[in-house]
Amino acid sequence: MIVEFLPGAPREAVERIRTLLLTEGCDVAEVFAGRVVMLIADRHWQTPPLDLTSQVKANEWVADVRGLETLIPKVGGDALKPFAVRGFRFGGDDLALIAGPCTVETYEALLQTAQVARRAGAQFLRGGAFKPTTSPYSYQGGGEEALQALAAVRREMDMGVVTEVMSPAQVERVAQAADILQVGARNMQNFDLLREVGRSGAPVLLKRGFGATLDEWLNAAEHIAVAGSERIILCERGIRSFDPLTRASLDVSGIAAARTRTHLPVLADPSHAAGVRRFVEPLALAAVAAGAVGLIVEVHPDPESSVKDGAQTLDFDSFARLALRARAVWGALHGERHADLQ
């Protein structure tokens, strides 16, 4: 629980609340944010006393009482704070576009995808070498060989690479082959992994778990930041819904809300949200309109033959069209800002 006092709250009021919290068995820390005093009370409640919050709130000098999960000093800034990865600024003037296959297949197909994606405006190439799969019998990714293909295309094209890392033990190796470490939706609260990617200092793309609240997502990012990496890109990829029409529901509300709670850039993955090709572009456009500063999209030279996620994967022409239209929405929304900067 975080108890925030009104500016100028007298010492006695703070002490009265502190004593109350200590009596309830909390660890209590006092912090100052400018002229505002906050008490941070932590405790594993056996049976949380229902009336404690209202007792604390009843004090005339208490401005607000919030849950501890709202304490995100490292990622909770107000205004969007752009940062660069390999020379490209996420949250800057240009819409970020990351494109590539669900999983790395051949070097040739990856290179061709990177070339076409770049021509369409993508700054980064994506492709999984380690795949989290619901079924243990489906393809688990090319592993080391796939990492080598990614690293080779990265060299050849001088293009940034994003790929998923699934376990703490893989972090060091994956960070050699890629520019951005992706933490997948299923691993959003794998705290050992979050700490390890944080410790590496590498930029991280943190997918939102499909059952995670905004607070849980931001706290996962806070774990990474506390461990040492503050270049974190959040990625909304659809949350679980009741309608099997789409694979997930792109949480456009979540994108808009995230923009008010964190200074981190928020991207959207319309491919995993849609699950089917024809919805990928409309979801991408909606995400940009809601405040996403970039998109990560599955693209393959021949989606029908894609080893994974073919049904939601775009061919080159469809991706080029999506990129064009997404940039048009971006320009309509942010054009003035650009003009001001020129």
Q: Which residues bind Mn ion (CB under 5 A)?
A: 102, 309
Closest alpha carbon to 60 in 15, 5, 108, 102: 5
Report the 10 Å Cβ neighbour count for 228. 13
Query: Which residue has the CB atom at the shortest distance from ligand PEP?
Result: 184
Helix count (H) and strand count (E) of the chain?
Answer: 11, 14
Which tokens belong to 118?
């770049």
Number of residues interacting with ligand PEP: please give it, by CB under 6 A: 10
Distance linking the first and last C-alpha atoms of the chain: 46
Chain centroid to Cα 246, Å, comes to 21
Q: Between β-strands 62-66 and 232-236, what pairing exists: parallel, antiparallel or unpaired?
A: unpaired
| CA dihedral sign of residues 97, 86, 207, 288 | negative
Q: Which stretch binds ligand PEP (CB under 6 A): 65-73, 85-93, 115-123, 182-190?
A: 182-190
126 versus 261: smaller Cβ distance to ligand PEP: 126
Shortest Å distance, C-beta 145 to Mn ion = 19
Shortest Å distance, C-beta 207 to ligand PEP = 4
Q: Quote the CA–CA distance of 206 and 90 in Å, as a whole number.
A: 14
Shortest Å distance, C-beta 188 to ligand PEP = 8
Instruction: State the binding partner of 207 from ligand PEP, Mn ion, none, CB within 5 to 8 A by kind.
Output: ligand PEP
DSSP-derived 3-state class of residue 265: coil
Chain centroid to Cα 178, Å, comes to 17
- Verify binding: residue 300, ligand PEP, rule CB under 6 A: no
Q: How many residues does the chain have?
A: 342
- Verify binding: residue 209, ligand PEP, rule CB under 6 A: no
DSSP 278: G
20 versus 283: smaller Cβ distance to ligand PEP: 283
Shortest Å distance, C-beta 246 to ligand PEP = 14
Binding mask 114-133 for ligand PEP (x = CB under 6 A): --------------x---x-
Among 247, 259, 261, 272, binds ligand PEP (CB under 6 A): 272
Shortest Å distance, C-beta 309 to Mn ion = 4
- Verify binding: residue 237, ligand PEP, rule CB under 6 A: yes
Shortest Å distance, C-beta 306 to ligand PEP = 12
| CA dihedral sign of residues 170, 172, 173, 176 | positive
102 versus 185: smaller Cβ distance to Mn ion: 102
The residues binding ligand PEP (CB under 6 A) are: 102, 128, 132, 184-186, 207, 237, 269, 272
